Amino acid sequence: MKLSLAVEAETIRLGEIIGRSLEAGDLVLLHGELGAGKTTLVRGLARAAGYRGRVSSPTFALAHVYRGSRLTLHHLDLYRLEGGDVGELGLDELLHDPRGVVVVEWPRADVRWPSRRVEVRLTHAKSGRRVRVRDRRRGR
Ligand SMILES: Nc1ncnc2c1ncn2[C@@H]1O[C@H](COP(=O)(O)OP(=O)(O)OP(=O)(O)O)[C@@H](O)[C@H]1O
Ligand SMILES: [Mg+2]
């Protein structure tokens, strides 16, 4: 699915729509250059998880956890992750959190991500953004 997102609010809205389809154990990979709108989309995901607090880029912290009324969102940003540290992410544990969903900004190509996932690719377009969503969860 390809869409145009003219303003920030539409990126958040798309995040909410994707977020409503998420269930515990789901993984969302967010691709896109600097400033493409990845963290903005996570705001919508967090809203759909029932989280009312602040969402910010975990670039330095590597991960933020948003405990919503519906789901817990684990928000990772691997932009600054050094080479060997991937195994320390504890991705398997996060995906086994019985209420947890994992969303990753800057998903690195050298990580063997589970094939069952949602992929979002954001690009700059004029003043807005273009987005491509690919749902690779089984049976969808
Ligand atoms: N559809 C849109 N149209 C115009 N601006 C947008 C849109 N979506 C998001 N933005 C704006 O883009 C800027 C960067 O967004 P954001 O921080 O989400 O990007 P990012 O991909 O997470 O960047 P980084 O790679 O640095 O983490 C913000 O100012 C946000 O308001
Ligand atoms: Mg970001």
pLDDT in the model for residue 86: 64
Mean pLDDT, contiguous 10-residue spans, the chain (140 residues):
97 98 97 97 98 89 92 93 70 89 92 93 96 88
What's at 7, amino acid-wise?
Answer: V
What is the signed CA dihedral for 134, 21, 108, 83, rounded to 10 degrees?
-170
Contact 41, 5 (CB under 8 A): no
Q: For the domain covering 2-135, report its CATH number.
A: 3.40.50.300
pTM of the shown model: 0.95
Q: Tally Cβ neighbours within 10 Å of residue 68.
A: 19
Mutate to test the pocket of ligand 1, among 29, 38, 40 (most ligand atoms within 8 A of CB): 40
Question: Which tens digits make up the pLDDT trace of 11-40?
Answer: 999 999 999 999 999 999 999 999 999 999
**Tokens 């069952």 sit on residue:** 116
pLDDT in the model for residue 82: 74
Q: Rounded to whole angstroms, what are the CA distances from 59 to 7, 15, 23, 134, 137?
A: 23, 19, 25, 24, 27
Q: Tally Cβ neighbours within 10 Å of residue 67.
A: 13
pLDDT in the model for residue 140: 57
Query: CA-CA distance, 136 to 28, in Å (whole number)?
Result: 10
Both tokens assigned to 11 = 């990126």
Parse the chain into domains and list their residue ranges. 2-135
> Does any ligand 1 atom lie closer than 6 A to the CB of residue 107?
no
pLDDT in the model for residue 138: 79
> Does any ligand 1 atom lie closer than 6 A to the CB of residue 105?
yes
